Amino acid sequence: MTLRLGKVGTMLVAVLLGTLMFGLGIFFTRGGPGQPAPPAGRPIAAQPLTPATQAGLADTIDALQQRLRRLPGDHPAWAALGTAYVQQAAVTGEPTYYQKAEGALRRSLRIEPDDNSAALTGQAALAASRHDFEQALRRARESQRINPYNAANQGILTDALQQLGRYRPARAELQRMLDLQPGVPSFTRASYAWELEGATAPARMALRRALETATTPADRAYCLFYLGELAWNAGDLGEADARYRQGLRRDPTYTPLLAGLAKVSAARGQVEQAISGYERVVQRLPVPTYLIAYADLLRSVDRDDEAARQEAVVAATRSLFAEQGASVDLEIALFEADRGRGEAAVRAAREVWESERSVQAADAYAWALHVAGRDRRALRFAEEAGRLGTKSALFAYHRGIIAESLGNDDEARVLLRRSLEINPHFSPLLAPRAEATLERLRS
């Protein structure tokens, strides 16, 4: 049954707004907005929502638009519409929805500037989507002062603090979220907080708790995806494959699960199956992380012309996001560095570091500086990336190569072995380079 708000009243708008905010609570999970990849992977610029909100989102937007044509002074409906647009940008990978979101949320605040925590939370979500985490933090704090019991706002506040590298206060805000509303959004965030600290067993337990509390097939698919990611990061292909497939049985439209299966296929040497999988993924959601992952796979099997086509789309997508005030520079910094373009990588990584201080940002900056030939400075950022004890094959690889470049061969051997012990399949491009470097250091 399609929801038509034009035929219903204010109470249902409030219910709908609560549902959209719950969607944000799941959307901004595990390392910040945009589908934050686990520590061993690349952050994704724009995440498809959990399918619980994806299916009816277009109908919701249409219904809100109809209501606002009749009742243009309905500030909760404007807040709900702005929030829905933020989510629609994620569903489609289309950042032009950000401007629509901005306009709707401003309209809500013009109508009700003083007691409008929902619009402020929407603005926090929008800023986080654009990777403006200082702005996200300010708006979330303002919303919290008006309504300190909004768990979805707590989630965005937690994510903003994490991306700014303020992990201790992020923990405190996350605990408040858990106290307010234990459920999928808060338990998955708890899992990510543990994972960042290298505590994979508690991270897994928190995800299982999230799965137990999930009430819809879509939420279960979401939890199963991240259980698959934990297994993938630990190099357990069988467990990762099983979790991704379980998730797809719950919701076959959830794109990250398809990407998970594609990388498992690549790790098993099933190249054509992996390529076919990534083709489906980028057709559904052509955002930089998936495009880069696809290009990396193609480069690894010497299909350079096809890889170049995907890389051209990466550049175009970056420009599109930038035009809408959104940054994907973290992905771009790693992308440029992996292709040997050191100065371009440093420019992108510096932009990221000026706006966020996460361990992922530190790792990207370290890698960019190494490729640009500035290894002593790179080492400082690699050490910063490791400050939480994150078990990341990618972090270990980057730091190992930096150590080798500085002539610290013993340390390099330890770090490169660690990267391959954590996950020998962490990258189709970089894992073989780790093995080759280790072999050279043995000789």
Q: What is the pLDDT of residues 50-97, one digit of tens each?
A: 444 555 788 889 999 999 999 999 999 999 999 999 988 887 888 889
- C-alpha to C-alpha distance for 244 and 397, rounded to whole angstroms: 26
Q: CATH number of the domain at 5-327, out of 1.25.40.10, 2.102.10.10, 3.40.50.300, 3.30.450.40?
A: 1.25.40.10
C-alpha 241 chain-centroid distance:
20
- DSSP designation for 49: P
Q: What is the pLDDT of residue 48?
A: 35
Give the span between the Cα atoms of 397 and 393, in whole angstroms: 6
Distance of CA 6 to the CA centre of its chain: 35
Contact (CB, 8 A) for 39 and 360:
yes
CATH code for the structural domain at 348-443: 1.25.40.10
- What's the pLDDT at 44? 32
Q: What is the structure's pLDDT at 333? A: 97
Alpha helix ranges (H) inside 147-215: 151-163, 167-180, 184-196, 200-213
State residue 88's pLDDT score: 87
pTM score above 0.75: yes
Residue 13: what pLDDT? 58
- Note the pLDDT of residue 165: 96
- Which residues of the chain have a pLDDT value below 70? 1-55
Cα–Cα distance for residue pair 17/188, rounded to 1 Å: 22
Q: 175 by DSSP, 3-state: which?
A: helix
Phi then psi for 383, rounded to 5 degrees?
Answer: -65, -40
> Would you call 168 exposed, middle or buried from its count of C-beta atoms within 10 A (0-12, 13-18, 19+)?
exposed
Using one digit for the tens of pLDDT, what is the confidence trace for 290-328?
999 999 999 999 999 999 999 999 999 998 888 888 889
Torsion angle defined by CA atoms of residues 84, 86, 90 and 92, in that order, rounded to the nearest 10 degrees: 70
Closest Cα to residue 430, out of 41, 77, 117? 41
Identical fold, 5-327 and 348-443:
yes
Closest-CA residue to 32 (of 138, 170, 146, 145):
170
Indicate the domain borders of the chain: 5-327, 348-443
How many Å apart are CA 120 and CA 426, to the nearest integer?
A: 39
